[in-house]
Amino acid sequence: MKAISTKKKAEPQRPQGTQRRIKLGPRLLRAFEFAAKKHAGQTRKASTIPYIAHLMGVASLVLEAGGDEDLAIAALLHDVVEDCGGAPMLKEVRRRFGERVAKVVDGCTDADTYPKPPWRERKESYLRHLAAADADTRLVSAADKLNNVRSILSDYRQVGEFVWARFKGGREGTLWYYRSLRDEFLRDVPNRVTRDLELAVKELESLAAQRSLPAIEA
């Protein structure tokens, strides 16, 4: 007769983002309304897609990765300083939604003055800033970049090389920036957002390489 084992079977791990119940309340709705109002009339680059779609996408990624209400609010507001008023807007965010949200929004902003500094200078400065940023900021920033890369990929498949004309960095500058972001985020222990960002950047690199291959004459 076999001895009965008393050792418990290991429970299957739950997907990241389901370890605890995330409480969402009226603050999130107020943040959505605030973002929708401030970004009203804005669209995604060279499209008719309302800009709020991007903000909703980033907030969704943050929540799916286990972010709490503050981080979902920061995701909805992550571009409001850069695109809707600069430094004074950050004070309004802090007053309405608190210090933690304002800190993340500030950490996701690469320019709060007008005119903005030159593109390459801004991006290099943001990468240096990101290297010292806290985990909250890095999660929201990674979700933002993942949503952006996915949009670029979708548009690239549709319009080809014309997609690069939408970006101040052009083809090579844009690829450099997202490669650099991927490498920076991968310094951390991977999470679902940074893993997906790595895959998305890899796909973008592969597609760009295919499109740049010279045509083979028959």
* Helix ranges, the chain (H): 26-38, 52-64, 69-76, 80-83, 87-97, 99-107, 119-131, 135-159, 170-185, 192-212
Phi, psi of 206 (to 5 degrees): -65, -45
The active-site residue out of 83, 92, 112, 155 is 83
- Going by the DSSP 8-state scheme, the letter that residue 23 receives in this structure is P
Nearest CA to 139 out of 32, 204, 59 is that of 59
Q: Which two tokens stand for residue 197?
A: 């960002």
The active-site residue out of 82, 110, 136, 184 is 82
Active site residue 82: yes
β-sheet bridge partners, residue 50: 43
Active site residue 83: yes
**Catalytic positions, written as ranges:** 82-83
